């Protein structure tokens, strides 16, 4: 049985580190935005806030999957939809071979053995952020992980418009209107999301013990 406290501590320490980084971003850029003619400081805040959101989520995914691996068991017994991740390489192989009859036959042949796979067969990248962790992507990942999405519903619009939308625009060379952006509020919002994510993953681990 995995030591639950160790995995909880790992997520807590990662969150604290991210919050400290966000606090430093706020301290460094808050006083610069007033005379930020080209919006450079505001854009930097947007990019760094999103980076911590995505980075922390991915850290939680990896910690959670390692917890499941240590706990053991078959994926299909408790996490049926996670088989999508376990079968990822097989799906890719079929696609690369144009879904030919031969590739489909091979998939079914492999299915007999892989249907009983353990958590070490999971490809974590399937439930990671992959550079665009908006509400739709989070919903998809939560579904595969069998997580309750209700705590994220109230932040849906702000997540998509501000944290992800602004960052997406900046990353693609656009200049979103950030004149009304409050650096402190933006950082606090990003920090609050880290708490929601940490709680979700830790609750999921606790429910397995």
- Please tell me the predicted confidence (pLDDT) of residue 35: 60
Region for 146 from its dihedrals, namely left if φ exceeds 0, alpha if ψ lies in -120 to 50, beta otherwise: left
Q: Cα dihedral angle (203, 25, 182, 13), rounded to 10 degrees?
A: 10
Share of the chain above pLDDT 70, in %: 95
Q: Are 71 and 120 a contacting pair, CB within 8 Å?
A: no
pTM for this model (two decimals): 0.90
Closest alpha carbon to 15 in 198, 206, 147: 198
Residue 181 makes CB contacts below 8 A (sequence gap 6+) with 33, 42, 45, 46, 162, 166
Q: Are 49 and 73 a contacting pair, CB within 8 Å?
A: no
Give the Cα separation of 132 and 120 in Å (integer).
25
- Beta-bridge partners for 41: none
Residues in the chain: 209
| pLDDT, the chain, mean | 90
Give the Cα separation of 122 and 114 in Å (integer).
11
Is the pLDDT at 96 greater than 80, yes or no?
no
Range of weakest confidence among 74-88, 93-107, 114-128, 154-168: 93-107
- Please tell me the predicted confidence (pLDDT) of residue 127: 94
- Please tell me the predicted confidence (pLDDT) of residue 81: 92
pLDDT (tens digit per residue) in 109-139: 788 778 899 999 999 999 999 889 999 999 9
Q: What is the CA radius of gyration of the chain?
A: 20
- Please tell me the predicted confidence (pLDDT) of residue 33: 53
Closest alpha carbon to 133 in 163, 158, 176, 153: 163
Closest alpha carbon to 162 in 170, 151, 172, 150: 170
């Amino acid at each position: 049985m995995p030591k639950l406290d160790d995995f909880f501590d790992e997520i807590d320490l990662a969150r604290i580190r991210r919050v400290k980084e966000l606090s430093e971003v706020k301290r460094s850029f808050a006083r610069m935005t007033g005379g930020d003619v080209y919006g450079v400081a505001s854009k930097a805040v947007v990019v760094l806030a999103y980076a911590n959101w995505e980075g922390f989520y991915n850290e939680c995914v990896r910690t959670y999957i390692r917890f499941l691996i240590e706990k053991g068991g078959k994926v299909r017994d408790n996490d049926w939809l996670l088989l999508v991740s376990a079968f990822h390489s097989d799906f890719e192989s079929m696609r690369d071979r144009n879904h030919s009859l031969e590739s489909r036959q091979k998939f079914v042949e492999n299915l007999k053995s892989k249907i009983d796979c353990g958590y070490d067969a999971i490809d974590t990248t399937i439930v990671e952020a992959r550079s665009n962790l908006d509400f739709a992507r989070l919903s998809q990942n939560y579904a595969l992980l069998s997580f309750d999405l209700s705590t994220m519903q109230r932040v849906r619009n702000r997540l998509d418009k501000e944290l992800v939308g602004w960052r997406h625009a900046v990353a693609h060379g656009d200049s979103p209107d950030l004149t009304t952006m409050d650096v402190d509020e933006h950082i606090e919002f990003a920090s609050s999301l880290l708490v929601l994510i940490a709680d979700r993953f830790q609750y999921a681990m606790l429910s397995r013990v």
